[in-house]
Structure 1
């Protein structure tokens, strides 16, 4: 049966914090395995404030790369949903990456290994939500807008916690050019990508999705859960000198499907505003830890639960109760000690205009929104939206706002063009300026990109930093895909920008920051892997 729609009751906006009341769970379904008692045990939907939805390529991407954001969201009691695009079937062996252990493990069984990973994920989420890995789940097959089916799991004790399994075939290679993959589907190398159904799943008919059907299926999940926050992986992590992606290809192209689905979902009516945040995945390996020891240990504990470290048969599944590959190294490549956003982690989204009026900016629904207030005691007014940046485009997370000498505000961002072909995909720097101090914003203008080769494959420019000199000329700084610093400077205040300059540097990470001192000199700082 088709799922009911979820009405939007209210949108709560305060000082750039976005929330929505009235989201309800896909909290019904038949019971399988070690679950709630009775074949028709239904759960009453919950009503929460706000909704966080993660979309990842594989089971464990959320635990490695989005925690502790994920566990903190669960602890607040808001609605939390995670969507897994592929089954993560890998080589079909639920054992360590070792030839002699693989031989001992018997023949490959991709459906069973995918089911073991599901069991591990359910255990980790149950532990995050209830403290008990054995807490019961309800599992149900539901139809998708793409013409296939998805498995929806609802945590009985905490029905606001849901898992959605799209069960598409994974690439089965980190970077190999395998057409039967999300990458192949996005690039048009295959007309459709088939499912890899897990053993024990309530989804029975095999299915496949075209590119448009996959986008429609993901967008439909957004429409049903109405998230106020969408978390996903990095669609443009860049490439190595040898030309391979710095991240798993499923991470990259899964995130691009999320971008396209979010752009489609944003066109729907009667939905809450939403923000989208990208997370760094494999590149975290070369970066310093960001979590304190207590947070890192908590995160590692959930990973150990997923990895089925004790090897005790607590789930009763022939496939196994977790992912034994991860048990070899539950810390990942240092991933348990860190969490990073790939863009939009700066603080220059707030600036002061004339007479002390504050202006704040954030990207909502793929568009730039702004709020303002006239004084410290005045309420925030907004959100109001700048015009869109064009059909088939979305504004990326992050905003950089500056005040010009005449009191006008300028806001900068990067824009992703989705396009109609794989070659159209790319990112450029855009900006808009108020027509008069305190007034409306003019149209978006593009500064292009410092990247000139393989734009559709990389486009890994960072968010812009902006400095204004005493004459009112703006200089924009960007980390390019080669991890060096580039800049464009206005030739005159209010005029056109010159060409991109090469300012050097190596291995730059994150977004640069800039300031102008009392003598008018510009200072720019950027992080590297070591300093």
Structure 2
């Protein structure tokens, strides 16, 4: 259904709390970008482990089911991968490569990408709910994404999915999450940034409980984390993306704005995620069975709505006949004007088109070619200074500690293979390295357990082309 993403195509970067947020609150917009072959990088901050019972919520006997937080997390991620494979390739049982990556020192995530479409990538951080209901001591301070954001919790533990290549949980602080997102922004170099609503509408207020929000608290905190990471990305000279905030649970308070066809498409993809699409599931973790075939009863999925909808006045004809287009890029006002009336070309062109191409081609397993980088020093664009430093760094025209792939000029710890020690030199960017585990996880492993079984007999240090796991 799709062709490989071109180097200069749209690059979408999404940040969500849970593994179904983009299916409920962004589709069918996400589907259209994927079907067009654009590059998509999606990040999910929480484990989404809920009560750990992967049983339909309408089942009267579900309370008797065993609690398996890691298993339910795995099931949700498998459902999401199946939905993405359906959107991109038209088949739910596509091959995925799963591998651990260290985004910044001490912060690991699992990255998944389609073997047939490596420009589509999913990153899972796995922040879990730390409270008595989830197996933590009652006297231990609780931690959730909202308390991590507002400082009530210093750190929040992570959960490792049942079949993840991450083998060790972490405890992440607010700075860890922001730095990891900033690094991923630097990696994706997005032209579009999509996340949830940072300021959802209020449903009610009383003096005892305060404000009742129309949205899930984790959605709101996720948007705040994404915005803070974007601010850091822009301060480091990153390209400002067009940012869109999507309404979450508050959709249920508004009339449906989708056509019957769009709604049917959206529901069909949620059904794939929930394992309710009629496929024969022979896997233990084949989707979010808590939804079952009841995804449509959740009215917040009946619409797809921007929190800050754009008007129709973004394009104007000036008195001299030239067109002027207006937008907000990374919380900054931007304007493009025609070179002359009827020319159809903008006066303000992107700095370093060669760099833009190279940035957009960093999808694994391809490494960037140094010869495609350009020096922006002579550019007349307002951001030429920071871009020049970044381009020169990418072309390795400056010595250490300026490291390609790092959002700052500070050396980062390399991904160690076989327990190698960290070095104070520019490491190879993590997205160009073999799919091995991080130094914090000890031994080297293949990208997934099922890949390892397929590769028995292969020479050490080599990977099969297109290897991966089928989505159950």
Scaled by the length of structure 1, the TM-score of the pair is 0.59
Q: Is the 1:146–1:214 contact (alpha carbons within 8 Å) kept by the matching residues of 2?
A: no
1:449-464 to 2 correspondence within 5 Å?
none
In structure 2, the partner of 1:333 is 298
SS in 2 for 1:356: coil
User: Aligned ranges for residues 307-318 of structure 1 at < 5 Å?
Assistant: 307-309=274-276, 314=281, 316=283, 318=284
Task: Find out whether 1:260 has 2:223 as its counterpart.
Answer: no
CA distance in 2, matches of 1:208, 1:287: 39
- Which segment drifts farther, 188-197 or 93-102? 93-102
Unaligned runs of 5+ in 1: 1-43, 386-531
| SS of structure 1 residue aligned to 2:54 | coil
1:349 aligns to 2:349 (yes or no): no
Distance in 1 (alpha carbons) for counterparts of 2:249 and 2:344: 44
Partner secondary structure for residue 375 of structure 1: coil
* CA distance in structure 1 between the partners assigned to 2:349 and 2:213 by the alignment: 37
Match status 1:376 vs 2:339: no
1:285-296 pair list within 5 angstroms: 285-296=252-263
- The 1:384–1:71 alpha-carbon spacing in structure 2 relative to 1, beyond 3 Å, is closer
2:54 and 2:198 mapped to 1: Cα distance? 29
Higher relative contact order (CA 8 A, sep 6+): 2
Q: Are 1:371 and 1:382, in contact at CA under 8 Å, matched by a contact in 2?
A: yes
- Out of 16, 20, 29, the position equivalent to 1:60 is 20
Write the deviation string for residues 142-172 of structure 1: whole angstroms up to 9, x where unpaired: 0122622100001112211111111111489
Query: 2:390 is matched with which residue?
Result: none
Distance in structure 2 (CA, Å) of the matches to 1:130 and 1:384:
32
2:83 to 124, 129, 132: 124
Contact 1:229–1:276 under 8 Å retained in 2: yes
Deviations 1:267-318 (A, max 9, x none): 224x4441111001111112111121112111111111111115755363x3
Partner of 2:40: 80
Higher helix share: 2
Alignment check: 8 A CA contact 2:5 2:38 kept? no
2:430 matched residue in structure 1: none
Distance change >3 Å, CA 384–CA 131, structure 1 → 2:
closer
Matches within 5 A, 1:265-276: 265-269=233-237, 271-276=238-243
Q: What number of residue pairs does the alignment pair up?
A: 335
User: Equivalents in 2 of 1:383, 1:296: separation in Å?
Assistant: 38
The structure 1 residue matched to 2:124, chosen from 165, 168, 183, is 165
Given candidates 272, 283, 302, the residue that maps to 2:250 is 283
The aligned runs of 1:317-328 (5 Å cut-off) are: 318=284, 320-328=285-293
The 1:170/1:250 distance shift into structure 2, 3 A limit, reads farther
Q: Is 1:51 equivalent to 2:11 in the alignment?
A: yes
Distance 2:5 2:320 in 1: 48
Q: In structure 1, what is the equivalent of residue 151 of structure 2?
A: 188
Answer whether contact 1:52 1:227 (CA < 8 A) is retained.
yes
Measured in 2, the distance between the counterparts of 1:257 and 1:244 equals: 21
Sort the Cα spacing of 1:197 and 1:51 in 2 relative to 1 into closer, same or farther, 3 A: same
Structure 1 residues 115, 187: closer, same or farther in 2, change over 3 A?
Answer: same
Residue 48 of structure 1 contacts residue 77 of structure 1 at CA under 8 Å; is this kept in 2? no
5+ residue gaps, structure 2, are 134-140, 206-210, 352-472
Q: Does 1:202 align with 2:165?
A: yes
Whole-Å Cα distance in 2 between the matches of residues 165 and 77 of structure 1?
22
Contact 2:56 2:291 in 1 (8 A): yes
Aligned to 1:514: none
Change in Cα spacing, 1:380 to 1:48, as seen in structure 2 (3 Å) is closer
8 Å contact kept, 2:251–2:301: no
Q: Which runs of 4+ in 1 moved over 6 A?
A: none
CA RMSD of aligned residues (A): 2.6
Residue 345 of structure 2: SS of its match in structure 1? coil
- 1:239–1:335 Cα change, 3 Å: closer
Tell me what 1:212 maps to.
175
What do residues 57-102 of structure 1 show as CA deviations (whole Å, max 9, x unaligned)?
Answer: 1011000001011111110111112111111100101112257322
Tell me by how many angstroms 1:188 deviates. 0.9
1:136 aligns with 2:95: yes
Q: Distance in 2 between matches of 1:372 and 1:220?
A: 32
CA contact (8 A) 1:146 1:216 kept: no
* Superposition map of 1:344-423 within 5 A: 344-373=309-338, 374-377=340-343, 379-382=345-348
The separation in 2 between residues aligned to 1:287 and 1:383, in whole angstroms, is 40
Q: Deviations over 1:364-397 (max 9, x none)?
A: 2331111123423363212699xxxxxxxxxxxx
Structure 2 contact 201–214 (Cα < 8 Å) conserved: yes
Q: In 2, Cα distance between the equivalents of 1:109 and 1:355?
A: 66
Matches of 2:253 and 2:331, distance apart in 1: 30
Deviation at 1:200, TM superposition (A): 0.8
Match for residue 149 of structure 1 among 90, 101, 108: 108
Q: 1:332 to 1:262 in 2, by over 3 A?
A: farther
